[in-house]
Protein backbone atom coordinates (compact mmCIF):
# COMPACT_ATOMS: atom_id res chain seq x y z
CA UNK A 1 0.00 0.00 0.00
CA UNK A 2 1.11 3.50 -0.69
CA UNK A 3 -0.62 6.47 0.85
CA UNK A 4 0.54 9.67 -0.75
CA UNK A 5 -0.05 13.18 0.53
CA UNK A 6 0.40 15.64 -2.29
CA UNK A 7 0.69 19.38 -1.67
CA UNK A 8 -1.98 19.08 1.01
CA UNK A 9 -3.26 22.29 2.56
CA UNK A 10 -6.09 22.91 5.00
CA UNK A 11 -6.87 26.50 5.83
CA UNK A 12 -9.00 27.67 8.74
CA UNK A 13 -9.74 31.38 8.97
CA UNK A 14 -6.85 32.24 6.64
CA UNK A 15 -4.42 30.15 8.74
CA UNK A 16 -2.90 27.02 7.24
CA UNK A 17 -3.38 24.26 9.82
CA UNK A 18 -1.79 21.93 7.27
CA UNK A 19 0.50 23.71 4.89
CA UNK A 20 1.48 22.30 1.51
CA UNK A 21 2.43 18.87 2.89
CA UNK A 22 4.18 16.26 0.78
CA UNK A 23 4.55 12.79 2.28
CA UNK A 24 4.56 9.19 1.11
CA UNK A 25 3.62 6.45 3.56
CA UNK A 26 4.00 2.75 2.94
CA UNK A 27 3.44 -0.13 5.37
CA UNK A 28 4.91 0.61 8.78
CA UNK A 29 4.37 2.53 11.99
CA UNK A 30 4.69 6.30 11.83
CA UNK A 31 4.97 8.48 14.90
CA UNK A 32 3.51 11.94 14.47
CA UNK A 33 5.04 14.46 16.85
CA UNK A 34 4.38 18.15 17.17
CA UNK A 35 3.50 20.78 19.74
CA UNK A 36 -0.09 21.81 20.46
CA UNK A 37 -1.57 23.34 17.32
CA UNK A 38 1.10 21.90 15.01
CA UNK A 39 -1.59 20.38 12.76
CA UNK A 40 -1.51 16.70 13.76
CA UNK A 41 -5.25 16.25 14.28
CA UNK A 42 -6.05 18.20 11.13
CA UNK A 43 -3.71 15.99 9.12
CA UNK A 44 -5.26 12.86 10.61
CA UNK A 45 -8.80 14.03 9.88
CA UNK A 46 -7.78 14.79 6.32
CA UNK A 47 -6.27 11.30 6.07
CA UNK A 48 -9.60 9.87 7.27
CA UNK A 49 -11.54 11.90 4.74
CA UNK A 50 -13.39 13.65 7.59
CA UNK A 51 -12.21 16.98 6.32
CA UNK A 52 -11.79 18.12 2.75
CA UNK A 53 -8.46 19.67 1.88
CA UNK A 54 -8.43 23.33 0.87
CA UNK A 55 -6.00 22.26 -1.83
CA UNK A 56 -3.91 19.24 -2.70
CA UNK A 57 -4.92 15.61 -2.39
CA UNK A 58 -4.31 12.24 -0.78
CA UNK A 59 -4.01 9.15 -2.92
CA UNK A 60 -4.02 5.47 -2.07
CA UNK A 61 -2.12 3.41 -4.60
CA UNK A 62 -2.45 6.27 -7.03
CA UNK A 63 -6.19 6.87 -6.59
CA UNK A 64 -7.63 9.94 -4.92
CA UNK A 65 -9.22 8.86 -1.62
CA UNK A 66 -12.18 11.16 -2.25
CA UNK A 67 -13.09 9.11 -5.31
CA UNK A 68 -12.57 5.82 -3.48
CA UNK A 69 -15.29 6.72 -0.97
CA UNK A 70 -16.41 3.78 1.13
CA UNK A 71 -13.82 1.49 -0.40
CA UNK A 72 -11.21 3.67 1.28
CA UNK A 73 -13.19 4.12 4.47
CA UNK A 74 -13.55 0.36 4.88
CA UNK A 75 -9.77 0.14 5.17
CA UNK A 76 -9.56 2.70 7.95
CA UNK A 77 -9.61 2.57 11.72
CA UNK A 78 -9.56 5.85 13.62
CA UNK A 79 -9.28 6.89 17.23
CA UNK A 80 -10.18 10.58 17.44
CA UNK A 81 -8.34 12.75 19.94
CA UNK A 82 -11.61 13.55 21.70
CA UNK A 83 -13.50 10.37 21.62
CA UNK A 84 -17.16 10.13 22.53
CA UNK A 85 -18.75 7.25 24.39
CA UNK A 86 -22.12 6.29 25.70
CA UNK A 87 -21.90 6.02 29.50
CA UNK A 88 -24.59 3.40 30.03
CA UNK A 89 -23.17 0.93 27.55
CA UNK A 90 -20.94 -1.78 28.87
CA UNK A 91 -17.56 -2.10 27.16
CA UNK A 92 -18.73 -5.17 25.30
CA UNK A 93 -22.04 -3.58 24.22
CA UNK A 94 -20.17 -0.55 23.00
CA UNK A 95 -17.89 -2.62 20.80
CA UNK A 96 -20.85 -4.58 19.45
CA UNK A 97 -22.58 -1.29 18.68
CA UNK A 98 -19.57 0.11 16.82
CA UNK A 99 -19.18 -3.24 15.03
CA UNK A 100 -22.75 -2.91 13.80
CA UNK A 101 -22.05 0.59 12.53
CA UNK A 102 -19.01 -0.76 10.76
CA UNK A 103 -21.09 -3.46 9.16
CA UNK A 104 -19.59 -6.51 10.88
CA UNK A 105 -21.75 -9.62 11.05
CA UNK A 106 -23.08 -10.67 14.44
CA UNK A 107 -20.66 -13.54 14.79
CA UNK A 108 -17.67 -11.50 13.65
CA UNK A 109 -18.66 -8.65 15.98
CA UNK A 110 -18.82 -10.91 19.04
CA UNK A 111 -15.56 -12.67 18.23
CA UNK A 112 -13.65 -9.51 17.40
CA UNK A 113 -15.04 -7.54 20.37
CA UNK A 114 -14.06 -10.25 22.83
CA UNK A 115 -10.58 -10.60 21.30
CA UNK A 116 -9.95 -6.87 21.39
CA UNK A 117 -11.19 -6.49 24.96
CA UNK A 118 -8.62 -9.13 25.82
CA UNK A 119 -5.92 -7.38 23.78
CA UNK A 120 -6.43 -4.04 25.53
CA UNK A 121 -6.71 -5.61 28.97
CA UNK A 122 -10.42 -5.01 29.51
CA UNK A 123 -11.69 -8.60 29.38
CA UNK A 124 -12.49 -8.63 33.10
CA UNK A 125 -14.43 -5.36 32.77
CA UNK A 126 -16.34 -6.27 29.63
CA UNK A 127 -19.69 -6.17 31.48
CA UNK A 128 -18.96 -2.94 33.34
CA UNK A 129 -20.61 0.28 32.26
CA UNK A 130 -18.29 2.74 30.59
CA UNK A 131 -19.28 5.46 33.04
CA UNK A 132 -17.48 3.49 35.75
CA UNK A 133 -14.24 3.39 33.75
CA UNK A 134 -11.14 5.40 34.47
CA UNK A 135 -9.74 7.68 31.75
CA UNK A 136 -7.12 5.12 30.76
CA UNK A 137 -9.72 2.34 30.53
CA UNK A 138 -11.89 4.47 28.24
CA UNK A 139 -8.85 5.23 26.14
CA UNK A 140 -8.13 1.50 25.77
CA UNK A 141 -11.72 0.95 24.73
CA UNK A 142 -11.24 3.69 22.15
CA UNK A 143 -8.19 1.90 20.78
CA UNK A 144 -10.15 -1.35 20.61
CA UNK A 145 -13.03 0.20 18.65
CA UNK A 146 -10.59 1.60 16.07
CA UNK A 147 -9.30 -1.91 15.40
CA UNK A 148 -12.65 -3.71 15.10
CA UNK A 149 -12.66 -3.88 11.32
CA UNK A 150 -9.06 -5.09 11.16
CA UNK A 151 -8.10 -1.88 9.36
CA UNK A 152 -5.26 -1.73 6.85
CA UNK A 153 -4.73 1.91 7.77
CA UNK A 154 -4.93 2.67 11.47
CA UNK A 155 -4.92 6.30 12.58
CA UNK A 156 -4.66 6.94 16.31
CA UNK A 157 -4.76 10.50 17.61
CA UNK A 158 -2.96 10.52 20.95
CA UNK A 159 -3.79 6.92 21.83
CA UNK A 160 -1.54 6.83 24.87
CA UNK A 161 -3.01 9.91 26.57
CA UNK A 162 -4.00 8.78 30.06
CA UNK A 163 -2.39 5.34 29.89
CA UNK A 164 -0.24 4.25 32.81
CA UNK A 165 3.27 2.88 32.06
CA UNK A 166 2.13 -0.76 32.11
CA UNK A 167 -0.68 -0.05 29.69
CA UNK A 168 1.63 1.96 27.45
CA UNK A 169 3.84 -1.11 27.15
CA UNK A 170 0.79 -3.25 26.38
CA UNK A 171 -0.25 -0.72 23.74
CA UNK A 172 3.19 -0.74 22.10
CA UNK A 173 3.17 -4.52 21.92
CA UNK A 174 -0.34 -4.55 20.51
CA UNK A 175 0.56 -2.06 17.78
CA UNK A 176 3.86 -3.75 16.93
CA UNK A 177 2.10 -7.08 16.46
CA UNK A 178 -0.74 -5.49 14.51
CA UNK A 179 1.35 -3.30 12.24
CA UNK A 180 2.73 -5.91 9.88
CA UNK A 181 1.56 -5.14 6.33
CA UNK A 182 -0.38 -2.12 7.49
CA UNK A 183 0.01 1.60 7.81
CA UNK A 184 -0.25 2.79 11.40
CA UNK A 185 -0.01 6.50 12.18
CA UNK A 186 -0.09 7.61 15.77
CA UNK A 187 0.27 11.04 17.23
CA UNK A 188 1.58 11.63 20.69
CA UNK A 189 3.34 14.06 22.95
CA UNK A 190 5.07 11.20 24.71
CA UNK A 191 8.23 10.70 22.73
CA UNK A 192 9.11 7.34 24.25
CA UNK A 193 5.83 5.91 22.94
CA UNK A 194 6.93 6.36 19.37
CA UNK A 195 10.68 6.07 19.84
CA UNK A 196 10.40 2.30 20.26
CA UNK A 197 7.63 1.30 17.88
CA UNK A 198 7.65 3.86 15.09
CA UNK A 199 10.03 3.14 12.25
CA UNK A 200 9.65 6.69 11.03
CA UNK A 201 8.95 9.91 12.82
CA UNK A 202 7.01 12.77 11.32
CA UNK A 203 7.79 15.97 13.19
CA UNK A 204 5.28 18.74 12.49
CA UNK A 205 5.43 22.38 13.25
CA UNK A 206 3.03 25.10 12.10
CA UNK A 207 1.32 22.79 9.63
CA UNK A 208 4.54 21.69 7.99
CA UNK A 209 6.71 18.63 8.25
CA UNK A 210 10.05 19.75 9.53
CA UNK A 211 11.54 16.27 9.91
CA UNK A 212 10.67 12.90 8.50
CA UNK A 213 12.76 9.78 8.98
CA UNK A 214 14.25 7.30 11.39
CA UNK A 215 14.84 8.71 14.90
CA UNK A 216 18.63 8.40 14.59
CA UNK A 217 18.59 10.14 11.20
CA UNK A 218 16.50 13.10 12.20
CA UNK A 219 18.24 13.67 15.51
CA UNK A 220 21.56 14.00 13.64
CA UNK A 221 20.71 17.69 13.26
CA UNK A 222 21.63 18.11 16.92
CA UNK A 223 24.86 16.09 16.79
CA UNK A 224 27.50 17.77 18.91
CA UNK A 225 24.99 20.15 20.44
CA UNK A 226 23.55 18.20 23.35
CA UNK A 227 25.36 18.52 26.68
CA UNK A 228 25.01 17.25 30.19
CA UNK A 229 26.49 18.83 33.28
CA UNK A 230 25.83 18.99 37.00
CA UNK A 231 25.29 22.17 38.98
CA UNK A 232 24.37 22.83 42.61
CA UNK A 233 20.59 22.33 42.95
CA UNK A 234 20.07 25.96 43.98
CA UNK A 235 21.43 27.16 40.62
CA UNK A 236 19.59 24.65 38.44
CA UNK A 237 16.59 26.84 37.66
CA UNK A 238 18.74 29.71 36.50
CA UNK A 239 20.72 27.44 34.21
CA UNK A 240 17.55 25.84 32.91
CA UNK A 241 16.14 29.27 32.13
CA UNK A 242 19.25 30.32 30.28
CA UNK A 243 19.57 27.30 28.02
CA UNK A 244 17.34 25.12 25.90
CA UNK A 245 16.99 22.47 28.56
CA UNK A 246 15.58 19.12 27.59
CA UNK A 247 16.01 17.43 30.93
CA UNK A 248 16.73 18.25 34.53
CA UNK A 249 17.52 15.50 37.01
CA UNK A 250 18.07 15.96 40.71
CA UNK A 251 20.60 13.69 42.38
CA UNK A 252 21.03 12.59 45.99
CA UNK A 253 24.24 14.55 46.29
CA UNK A 254 22.35 17.86 46.13
CA UNK A 255 23.36 18.46 42.54
CA UNK A 256 21.14 18.75 39.50
CA UNK A 257 22.15 17.27 36.17
CA UNK A 258 21.00 19.38 33.24
CA UNK A 259 20.72 18.22 29.67
CA UNK A 260 20.84 21.20 27.37
CA UNK A 261 21.08 22.00 23.69
CA UNK A 262 23.74 24.54 22.80
CA UNK A 263 26.22 24.93 20.00
CA UNK A 264 29.06 25.60 22.44
CA UNK A 265 29.79 23.98 25.80
CA UNK A 266 27.28 25.51 28.26
CA UNK A 267 29.69 24.99 31.16
CA UNK A 268 33.36 24.18 31.43
CA UNK A 269 32.63 20.70 32.72
CA UNK A 270 29.77 19.91 30.32
CA UNK A 271 30.09 16.69 28.37
CA UNK A 272 28.73 16.09 24.92
CA UNK A 273 26.07 13.35 24.65
CA UNK A 274 24.30 11.84 21.63
CA UNK A 275 21.03 13.60 20.80
CA UNK A 276 17.77 11.75 21.22
CA UNK A 277 14.27 12.31 19.89
CA UNK A 278 13.14 14.03 23.06
CA UNK A 279 15.87 16.65 22.58
CA UNK A 280 14.76 17.32 19.01
CA UNK A 281 11.06 17.41 19.89
CA UNK A 282 11.59 19.74 22.80
CA UNK A 283 13.83 21.96 20.78
CA UNK A 284 11.20 22.46 18.10
CA UNK A 285 8.30 22.63 20.54
CA UNK A 286 9.99 25.40 22.43
CA UNK A 287 10.69 27.29 19.27
CA UNK A 288 7.06 26.90 18.39
CA UNK A 289 6.13 28.41 21.74
CA UNK A 290 8.14 31.48 20.80
CA UNK A 291 11.03 30.88 23.09
CA UNK A 292 14.71 30.74 22.28
CA UNK A 293 15.08 30.55 18.56
CA UNK A 294 17.86 29.39 16.32
CA UNK A 295 20.69 27.13 17.36
CA UNK A 296 23.04 29.77 16.07
CA UNK A 297 21.56 32.37 18.37
CA UNK A 298 22.05 30.36 21.51
CA UNK A 299 24.20 31.43 24.34
CA UNK A 300 27.74 30.52 23.80
CA UNK A 301 30.25 28.90 26.04
CA UNK A 302 31.28 28.90 29.60
CA UNK A 303 32.80 32.33 29.37
CA UNK A 304 29.41 33.85 28.65
CA UNK A 305 27.65 32.18 31.52
CA UNK A 306 27.90 34.90 34.10
CA UNK A 307 26.33 37.44 31.77
CA UNK A 308 23.83 35.02 30.50
CA UNK A 309 22.45 34.04 33.84
CA UNK A 310 21.73 37.60 34.76
CA UNK A 311 19.61 38.14 31.69
CA UNK A 312 15.90 37.86 32.17
CA UNK A 313 14.91 35.15 29.79
CA UNK A 314 11.48 33.69 29.72
CA UNK A 315 11.41 30.02 30.34
CA UNK A 316 8.65 27.53 30.18
CA UNK A 317 9.63 24.56 32.28
CA UNK A 318 7.33 21.94 30.84
CA UNK A 319 6.24 21.11 27.39
CA UNK A 320 2.60 22.01 27.09
CA UNK A 321 1.17 18.52 26.97
CA UNK A 322 -2.47 18.31 26.15
CA UNK A 323 -4.17 18.46 29.52
CA UNK A 324 -7.64 18.16 28.14
CA UNK A 325 -9.09 14.78 28.78
CA UNK A 326 -9.79 13.00 25.52
CA UNK A 327 -13.12 11.68 26.70
CA UNK A 328 -16.31 13.38 27.47
CA UNK A 329 -19.69 12.01 28.29
CA UNK A 330 -22.32 11.95 25.62
CA UNK A 331 -25.80 12.30 27.02
CA UNK A 332 -27.96 10.89 24.29
CA UNK A 333 -27.84 8.13 21.77
CA UNK A 334 -28.36 10.68 18.98
CA UNK A 335 -25.33 12.59 20.10
CA UNK A 336 -23.48 9.33 20.39
CA UNK A 337 -24.36 8.45 16.85
CA UNK A 338 -23.28 11.85 15.59
CA UNK A 339 -19.94 11.48 17.35
CA UNK A 340 -19.48 7.95 16.24
CA UNK A 341 -20.31 9.00 12.73
CA UNK A 342 -17.17 11.06 12.84
CA UNK A 343 -14.96 8.11 13.42
CA UNK A 344 -16.92 5.43 11.67
CA UNK A 345 -17.50 7.37 8.51
CA UNK A 346 -13.97 6.43 7.82
CA UNK A 347 -14.26 3.01 9.40
CA UNK A 348 -17.35 1.53 7.91
CA UNK A 349 -16.80 -1.86 6.44
CA UNK A 350 -18.03 -2.38 2.95
CA UNK A 351 -17.81 -5.78 1.42
CA UNK A 352 -16.27 -5.08 -1.89
CA UNK A 353 -14.58 -7.18 -4.41
CA UNK A 354 -11.75 -6.29 -6.68
CA UNK A 355 -11.07 -3.39 -4.31
CA UNK A 356 -7.90 -1.60 -3.62
CA UNK A 357 -4.81 -3.52 -4.54
CA UNK A 358 -1.82 -3.52 -2.25
Ligand X SMILES: Nc1ncnc2c1ncn2[C@@H]1O[C@H](COP(=O)(O)OP(=O)(O)OP(=O)(O)O)[C@@H](O)[C@H]1O
Q: What is the contact surface with ligand X in residues (CB under 6 A)?
A: 12-13, 17, 34, 36-42, 81, 322
Nearest to 156 by CA among 79, 74, 232, 75: 79
Picked from Mg ion, ligand X, none, the partner binding residue 349 (CB below 5 to 8 A depending on kind) is: none
Contact 129, 90 (CB under 8 A): yes
How many C-alpha atoms does 212 have within 13 Å on its Cβ side?
A: 11
Contact 62, 301 (CB under 8 A): no
Residue number with CB closer to Mg ion (40 or 168): 40
Compute the distance between CA of residue 17 and CA of residue 37 in angstroms, rounded to an integer.
Answer: 8
Residue 106: C-alpha distances to residues 82, 93, 103, 122 (Å): 28, 12, 9, 20
Residues 6 or more apart whose CB falls under 8 angstroms from that of 285 comprise: 34, 35, 319, 320
Q: How far is the CB of 175 from Mg ion (least distance, A)?
A: 19
Picked from Mg ion, ligand X, none, the partner binding residue 355 (CB below 5 to 8 A depending on kind) is: none
Residue number with CB closer to Mg ion (74 or 81): 81
Contact 277, 255 (CB under 8 A): no
Q: Is residue 41 at the binding interface for Mg ion, with CB under 5 A as the rule? A: yes
Q: Is residue 81 at the binding interface for Mg ion, with CB under 5 A as the rule? A: yes
How would you classify the pairing of strands 2-12 and 153-157? Answer: unpaired
Reduce the DSSP state of residue 25 to 3 states and report it: strand
Residue number with CB closer to ligand X (17 or 117): 17
Q: How far is the CB of 250 from Mg ion (least distance, A)?
A: 32
Stretch touching Mg ion by CB under 5 A, among 34-42, 50-58, 135-143, 274-282:
34-42
Q: How far is the CB of 11 from ligand X (least distance, A)?
A: 9
Compute the distance between CA of residue 194 and CA of residue 255 in angstroms, rounded to an integer.
Answer: 31
Residue number with CB closer to Mg ion (18 or 29): 18
Residue number with CB closer to Mg ion (139 or 219): 139
Residues in region 307-326 near Mg ion by CB under 5 A: none
Q: How far is the CB of 7 from ligand X (least distance, A)?
A: 18
Compute the distance between CA of residue 331 and CA of residue 88 in angstroms, rounded to an integer.
Answer: 9
The residue number with the shortest CB distance to Mg ion is 41
Residues 6 or more apart whose CB falls under 8 angstroms from that of 251 comprise: 230, 257
Q: How far is the CB of 186 from ligand X (least distance, A)?
A: 12
Reduce the DSSP state of residue 220 to 3 states and report it: helix
Stretch touching Mg ion by CB under 5 A, among 55-63, 65-73, 76-84, 206-214:
76-84
Residue number with CB closer to ligand X (104 or 209): 209
Q: How far is the CB of 346 from ligand X (least distance, A)?
A: 16
Residue number with CB closer to Mg ion (125 or 157): 157
Q: How far is the CB of 30 from Mg ion (least distance, A)?
A: 15
Residue count, binding to Mg ion (CB under 5 A):
3
Q: Residues interacting with Mg ion, by CB under 5 A? A: 40-41, 81
Amino acid sequence: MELKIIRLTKTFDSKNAVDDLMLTLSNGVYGLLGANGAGKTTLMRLLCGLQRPTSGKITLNGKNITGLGERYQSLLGYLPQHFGYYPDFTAYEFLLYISALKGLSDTAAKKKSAALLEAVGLAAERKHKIKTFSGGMKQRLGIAQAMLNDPRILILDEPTAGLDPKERVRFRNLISAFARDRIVILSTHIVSDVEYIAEDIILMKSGQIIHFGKPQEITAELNGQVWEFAVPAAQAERYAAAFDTSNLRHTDSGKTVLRVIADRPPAAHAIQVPPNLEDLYLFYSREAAGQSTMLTQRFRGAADQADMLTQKLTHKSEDDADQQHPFRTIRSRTEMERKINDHTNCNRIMNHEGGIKE
